[in-house]
Structure 1
Amino acid sequence: MPTPEYVLKLREHIGHEPLVLIGVTAVILRESPAGTAVLLGTRSDDGALTPITGIVDPGEEPALAARREAMEEAGVEIAVERLAWVHQLPRKTHVNGDQVDYFDLTFRCRWISGDPHPADGEMTAVGWHDLDDLAAVASDDLRERIRLAANGSGDTLFHG
């Protein structure tokens, strides 16, 4: 996955020091007579099964970033329905030594159109998964993002 150009320019100045980046998680749901399904993809870098995620570009509205990432990564058009969770992820140190603190905004999204496929190489596979069977999802945190977005309450969860 290519690092955005603006991050590379920042890294020229700060090296591997911690950098705060705003991320989005698009929990894309599709209703059918059989029930609710969530769109998940297998990441090409580590093989993890995850919802669609990405970094907000400078000046970009977060909900538009979620829509952009859904199209770029999975080739689907979505409607962003609501903000489900706002939370800070634990500091991550990438293999090259770069440290990042991701501030994640998790959105509940509705599939509108498009046949999911690995559109830009960030995913090796993309498809619909039963909302009641998320054992293969990469982490408890990601399962919680999906759970909170799928919850029909309409409330946004904030830590603190």
Structure 2
Amino acid sequence: MPIPEFIVETRKKIGTDLMWLPSVCAVVLRDSTDNSAWAVPEVLLVKRADNGQWTPVTGIADPGEEAHDAAVREVLEETGIRATPAAILGVGAVGPVTHGNGDLASYMSIQLRLEPEDPAAVPHVGDDESSDVGWFPISQMPVTDPKWRLVIGDAAAQRKHPAGFSPRMGFTKR
């Protein structure tokens, strides 16, 4: 579902004017399938159909939907992977973004770390928002956007040292 129905209805009233939307970034990590001493966690990524960029799973929260529920829903819809929320990584603003159809939006992104219910489950492209999906060692991930690399790094750090982790407030501040 590329555009939630509540946004379609709101856009009928406001056109392409800037909208402020709650969103989630779901960073799903699993232990490496490589059993070497140098193994790093693997991250579930999607290749966005609109711009060809590899990212964690992202999406818009529905009205009244809790962030962790939105993250679980988006991961299942986009990749077929059932995941469980594990930690809040931070909150940051994204945008404004001009979408291909001319719509303007800014997002309040809540980043969460999730764990797959079945680490051996094979992901698949679940909707038309993505053209590919897969697990990647975080040391060899194809993510190029610095904000998503930062969030994935935060997820790995939080997973390894949960007691010493502080959620990030914004994408550039700690």
- TM-score normalized by structure 2? 0.85
Provide the rounded CA distance (Å) in 2 between the counterparts of 1:17 and 1:51.
Answer: 27
- Alignment-derived partner of residue 146 in structure 1: 152
Residue 38 (structure 1) aligns with: 43
For 1:95 and 1:70, how far apart are their aligned partners in 2? 23
Q: Report matched runs for 1:31-110 at 5 Å.
A: 31-32=31-32, 33=35, 34-110=39-115
Is the contact made by 1:85 and 1:149 (CA closer than 8 Å) also made in structure 2? no
> How many aligned residue pairs are there?
159
Whole-angstrom CA distance in 2 between matches of 1:47 and 1:11: 25
Contact preservation (8 Å) 2:45, 2:135: yes
AA aligned opposite 1:82: A
Q: CA deviation at 1:148?
A: 1.3
Tell whether the 8 Å contact from 2:40 to 2:139 is kept in structure 1 after alignment. Answer: no
Deviation by residue 1:84-129 (Cα, 9 ceiling, x = unmatched): 0200012011122211011101101111123211122322211110
Q: Of 151, 155, 159, which aligns to 2:166?
A: 155
> Which residue type is aligned with residue 61 of structure 2?
V
Deviation at 1:147, TM superposition (A): 1.0
After superposition, the C-alpha distances for 1:55-107 in whole angstroms (9 at most, x for unaligned) are: 10011111000000111000001111111020001201112221101110110
When the two chains are superposed, the root-mean-square deviation of aligned CA atoms in Å is 1.5
CA distance in 1, matches of 2:144, 2:74: 19
Equivalent of residue 125 in structure 2, options 115, 118, 123: 118
SS, match of residue 143 in structure 1: helix
**5+ long unaligned stretches in structure 2:** 159-163
Unpaired runs of 5+ residues, structure 1, are none
SS in 2 for 1:46: coil
Partner of 1:22: 22
More off after superposition, 30-39 vs 60-69: 30-39
Q: Which residue of 2 aligns with 1:137?
A: 143
Secondary structure in 2 matching 1:20:
strand
Rounded to whole Å, the distance in 2 between the matches of 1:127 and 1:97 is 30
CA spacing shift, 1:120–1:95, aligned 2, 3 Å: closer
Counterpart residue identity of residue 146, structure 1: I
* Structure 1 consecutive aligned stretches of length 4 or more whose deviation exceeds 6 Å: none
**Whole-angstrom distance in 2 between the partners of 1:130 and 1:78:** 18
